[in-house]
Amino acid sequence: MKNVSNRPRVVIVGAGFGGLAAAKRLAGKRVDVTLIDRRNHHVFQPLLYQVATAGLSPADIAGPIRGIFSRAPNIRVLLDEVTGVNVFDGEVVLKGGTKLDYDWLILATGARHSYFGHDEWSAHAPGLKSIEDALAIRRKVLLALERAETETDQRMRLALLTFVVVGGGPTGVEMAGAIAELAQRSVSRDFRNITPRCSRVILLEAGERVLPTFPPELSRAAERSLEDLGVEVRLRAPVRDIGDGYVDTAKELIFARTVVWAAGVTASPAADWLQVDKDRNGRLFVEADLHVAGHRNIFAIGDTANAPGIGGAALPAVAPVAKQQGKFVADVILGRRSGTFIYRDFGNLATIGRSRAVVDMGRLRMSGFIAWLTWSAAHVWFLIGFRSRLAVTLNWLWNYLTYQRSARLITGEVEFSHPQPRSQPLERKCA
């Protein structure tokens, strides 16, 4: 594509936290920016689990990319998929065969689910990376409750009311707590033939503790909060197999109709596009200023990059890192900055259901209600747009006062059939 403006051409692949931050920094500047994403919306991923558990609607945490940049005439948004990069000619190759020339390239392609070599598990244990994922999980959870209400076979009912979350990181902990609250409150108020004591929520973690990136005392506080909600926490419980209606760990066979994967991610194939080295999670290695070695005009940020932090260890794959990196590389392109990218760590936060959270801000470590207020304020602040902030705040206030979840909708055609369990689980009585 011919450069008619003679201004530097910047192509950004991915409109996640990093790509969006870079594009916003370049908006209105003397560069021509093309922002490419496979979806037409930006998603605030830290709150996807609330869509999956009917606490929020998709529009509350997502916004159209074109709308975000409607007042930035130097930014063009493309709904397309990148399939390769021709570094010798400075071209990005799109799925339909179209090629885009660039002077600067920012790869912010994010990550996808990793099943550690067992991709067949994905059919039975969906992950949570997109609105589509969240809606699929929401449908599965709500259908399980509906079918349990009319199921007369006790064994099948228990399988329907058993929910398993694989992975004890922030996403897994938040998901397990939210499912527990949804099952308990929804069942106690709206159902007649099942009770809260019938449902089981099991969190499986292969390591020694949940939230392993948090200080040990906050991990223990999170585990206690989960147990107070009725979540059964299984530590040192790696998964050996996942199939239709069951999860097999090294210690037990769990019969469950709903399994959610929150155990691992792998980077996009950006390293393969450039034919450069990558780490075991698929992230390509970058220099201190975030450019790809041997390619001074190509940057990788966010979950796409293995970027060195203080001491040489790779920076964590979290939203604040991606956002700061996006701003940094935009400033490098504009000639405002150079040298080493330094990440400012403002802390880690995770919530465990209603009024419970843990916050690690260096010397300041909190758990409980104050931590939950801090978590809530931080997440509302970083949402895109005033409308989303207002909608989420009002939804949370309503949910807090009434215990009701207004997004409890099952969409799509429902098949009125009941799958049979793999074999007979242990008898459990509930009242």
pLDDT digits (tens, 9 = 90+) for 46-79: 999 999 998 899 999 999 999 999 999 999 999 9
pLDDT for position 196: 77
By the 8 A CB rule, do 150 and 191 touch? no
Read off the pLDDT of each residue in 347-354 and give the average, rounded to a whole number: 90
3-state secondary structure of 43: strand
- 181 pLDDT above the threshold of 60: yes
User: Known catalytic residue: 120?
Assistant: no
- 429 pLDDT above the threshold of 70: no
50 found inside a domain? no
131-150 helix and 170-190 helix, angle to the nearest 10 degrees: 40
pLDDT digits (tens, 9 = 90+) for 207-220: 999 999 999 999 99
pLDDT for position 388: 83
pLDDT for position 412: 79
How does residue 173 score in pLDDT terms, banded at 50, 70 and 90? Answer: very high
342 found inside a domain? no
- 426 pLDDT above the threshold of 50: no
CATH number of the structural domain spanning residue 373: 3.50.50.100
Which of the two residues, 312 and 21, has the higher pLDDT score? 21
Which of the two residues, 33 and 192, has the higher pLDDT score? 33
pLDDT for position 101: 97
293 found inside a domain? yes
How many whole angstroms separate alpha carbon 140 and alpha carbon 385?
Answer: 30
431 found inside a domain? no
- 424 pLDDT above the threshold of 70: no
Q: 135 and 275: one domain?
A: no
Which of the two residues, 97 and 413, has the higher pLDDT score? 97
Percent over 90 (pLDDT), the chain? 68
CATH number of the structural domain spanning residue 29: 3.50.50.60
Read off the pLDDT of each residue in 255-278 and give the average, rounded to a whole number: 92
Domain of residue 293, residue span: 9-38+80-113+265-333
How does residue 192 score in pLDDT terms, banded at 50, 70 and 90? Answer: confident
271 found inside a domain? yes
- The catalytic residue among 91, 151, 174, 181 is 174
pLDDT for position 286: 95
The first and second tokens of residue 369, run together, are 């209600």
Closest CA to 60 of 76, 80, 75, 43: 43
Q: Classify the C-alpha dihedral 168-352-142-38 as positive or negative.
A: negative
pLDDT digits (tens, 9 = 90+) for 357-390: 999 988 899 999 999 999 999 998 888 776 788 8
Which of the two residues, 15 and 422, has the higher pLDDT score? 15
Q: 133 and 183: one domain?
A: yes
Across the chain, mean pLDDT equals: 90
**b/e sequence 155-177, b meaning 16+ C-beta within 10 Å:** bbbbbbbbbbbbbbbbbbbbbbb
- 422 pLDDT above the threshold of 50: no
How many whole angstroms separate alpha carbon 421 and alpha carbon 427?
Answer: 13
Number of domains in the chain: 2
Q: Classify the C-alpha dihedral 360-16-112-54 as positive or negative.
A: positive
Q: Where are the beta strands (DSSP E) in 8-94?
A: 9-13, 32-37, 41-43, 62-64, 75-79, 82-86, 91-94
Which of the two residues, 400 and 118, has the higher pLDDT score? 118
- pTM of the entire structure? 0.90
Q: 26 and 136: one domain?
A: no
pLDDT for position 3: 62
**Bridge-partner residues for 308, per DSSP?**
314
Look at the block and give the residue holding tokens 């190509």.
298
- 415 pLDDT above the threshold of 80: no
Q: 248 and 281: one domain?
A: no
pLDDT for position 338: 86
Residue type, 430: C
